[in-house]
Amino acid sequence: MIGDFRTHFVREPSALRHHPALVLNADFRPLSYYPLSLWPWQEAVKAAFLDRVDIIAEYDEIVRSPSMTLKIPSVVVLKDYVKPRKRVAFTRFNLFLRDEFRCQYCGSKGDLTFDHVVPRASGGITSWENVVAACAPCNLRKGSKSLRRANMSLRKPPRQPSASELMNVGRKFPPGHLHESWMDYLYWDAVLDA
């Protein structure tokens, strides 16, 4: 478990109902927002036994072994702080996440593809600065024209996001099921509405 624990999180909607534990870094922020850092309860119990985490909230449900009974942990915090990765990988997923799963021309959410802002035929490269999420109709409309010739504009200038920017975007997309004991740790540092 330790070693790949930064990426192996519960993602299946059905598994979200099987008592996963929210994993917090030593600073009490979730290790990851998207996907949300959730371990299967077995991993959380194991990590607690190995003294790698503290249990700070529990489910009402109990697990029993021949030698002990234990409430299933619902929130655990790592004892050792894990440094967040600084560099963001240029992947399809991260690019969609940067663009919040919206077409960067019209803002629609469905049927997303990628578009080269400066067309490849005109020397445009595949980079954070030149690729955006685009819906199929906009992609078709723009074709291999420049923005000006296509008479289209971008919602925001594309650029490489920092890890923390991407993390903040990820917070907007919580999984379908959130246990009440997770709420304090997911939103406690959110900006308060006046």
Nearer to Zn ion, 28 or 96 (CB): 96
CB of 52 to Zn ion, least distance (A): 46
Closest CA to 150 of 178, 123, 175, 115: 115
Separation between Cα atoms, residue 23 and residue 15, nearest integer Å: 16
CB of 133 to Zn ion, least distance (A): 9
Q: Are 162 and 154 in contact (CB under 8 A)?
A: no
CB of 92 to Zn ion, least distance (A): 17
Q: Using CB under 5 A, list all residues that contact Zn ion.
A: 103, 105-106, 108, 135, 138
Q: Are 98 and 79 in contact (CB under 8 A)?
A: no
Separation between Cα atoms, residue 179 and residue 70, nearest integer Å: 19
Separation between Cα atoms, residue 173 and residue 41, nearest integer Å: 22
Nearer to Zn ion, 108 or 127 (CB): 108
Closest CA to 137 of 115, 157, 165: 115
CB of 154 to Zn ion, least distance (A): 11
Nearer to Zn ion, 66 or 157 (CB): 157
Nearer to Zn ion, 38 or 132 (CB): 132
